[in-house]
Amino acid sequence: MDKLARYAETLDGAALGAHATPQLTSSDPNLSVADAYQVQKLSVDRRLARGERRIGVKMGLTSRAKMLQVGVNEVAWGRLTDAMLIEEGAAMSRARFVHPRVEPEVAFLMKAPLCGRVTAAQALAAVEAIAPAMEIIDSRYENFKFALSDVIADNTSSSGLVIGPWNDPTKDFSNLGVIVEINGQVIEVGSTAAILGHPLRSLVAAARLVAEGGEGISAGDIVMAGGITAAPTLAPGQTVRTTIQGLGSVMFRVEA
Ligand code: 0L1
Ligand code: MG
């Protein structure tokens, strides 16, 4: 087995077994971003081979709060599969994750393909609907610490998503207030403008980055635009709700 396939097997095993693994760059400090994306692809291919279905892509590290929280300052993308979906209002099991955190996000539902360099207007024309959403991130690395290549290889920490009500994408979603509550207490506040100044910029970047990776965004895909605030840690007993001004609320519960 070559080096990248071995890394993919390690990260896939860590996700499946919900255990932390050392950062790849601790033993391979020169792991390139291009090789890290190849590790990501190989590790998601292992999931697809087990019967999971690709449902879209996620953008990561698209806000200053996120970049500061993890000390990485470049945007990155990852792949979403149906096994990551958590039903809105339902419970997720903490035991399935290493050290999960939650991010308030905006989700796009695509009605047309989007690939390569596109304008914001072209990106918007390909969107069927937008929704308030949350991503469960769970770095497979010890202490939730990583360099850019590590986190890209680890599917940019993606491990779950919850989608709220779909809305008409022609409403102005450039600067909407965002509140994250845990057990009724406000934990984080922000604005959709925290996503690269406008969430649509994240979709434009996704079209370019995914195409550079040799893939595309298809009609029916979900695109997660990226975390808006720092990501609070999840623990059993929590009820987590994100509300985006004018778009509605989305919630889930955390069980042991
Ligand atoms: O916090 C992290 O694990 C960094 C990668 C993904 C963050 C994001 O989805 O914005
Ligand atoms: Mg995210």
Report CA-CA distances (Å) from 115 to 11, 60, 119, 222, 229: 28, 18, 11, 14, 28
Which residue minimizes the CA distance to atom 10 of ligand 1? 60
Closest residue by Cα to atom 9, ligand 1, is: 60
> Any idea which architecture 3-255 has in CATH?
Alpha-Beta Complex (3.90)
pLDDT, tens digit (0-9, with 9 covering 90-100), for 28-42: 999 999 999 999 999
Q: Residue 241 — pLDDT band, cuts 50, 70, 90?
A: very high
Q: What is the pLDDT of residues 116-159, one digit of tens each?
A: 999 999 999 999 999 999 999 999 999 999 999 999 999 999 99
Instruction: Report whether residue 134 contacts ligand 1, using a CB cutoff of 6 Å.
Output: no
Task: Band the pLDDT of 176: cuts 50, 70, 90.
Answer: very high
Whole-prediction pTM: 0.96
Atom 2 of ligand 1, nearest CA residue: 157
1 has a pLDDT exceeding 80: no
- 156 C-beta closer than 6 A to ligand 1: yes
Which percentage of the chain shows pLDDT scores above 90?
Answer: 95
pLDDT at 73: 79
Residue to mutate, 103, 162, 228, ligand 1, most ligand atoms under 8 Å from C-beta: 103
pLDDT of residue 116: 97
Sign of CA dihedral 230, 233, 234, 235: negative
pLDDT for residue 65: 84
Q: How far is the CA of 230 from the centre of ligand 2 (A)?
A: 10
DSSP labels for the chain?
Answer: --HHHHHHHHHHHHHHHT--B--HHHH-TT--HHHHHHHHHHHHHHHHHTT--EEEEEEES-SHHHHHHHT--S-EEEEEEGGGB--TT-EEEGGGSSS-EEEEEEEEEESS-B-SS--HHHHHHTEEEEEEEEEEE---BGGG---HHHHHHTGGGEEEEEE---B-TTS--SS-EEEEEETTEEEEEEEGGGTTTSHHHHHHHHHHHHHHTT--B-TT-EEE---SS--PBP-TT-EEEEEETTTEEEEEEEE-
103 CB within 6 A, ligand 1: yes
Please provide the average confidence, as pLDDT, over all residues in the chain: 96
What is the band of 213 on the pLDDT scale with cuts at 50, 70, 90?
very high
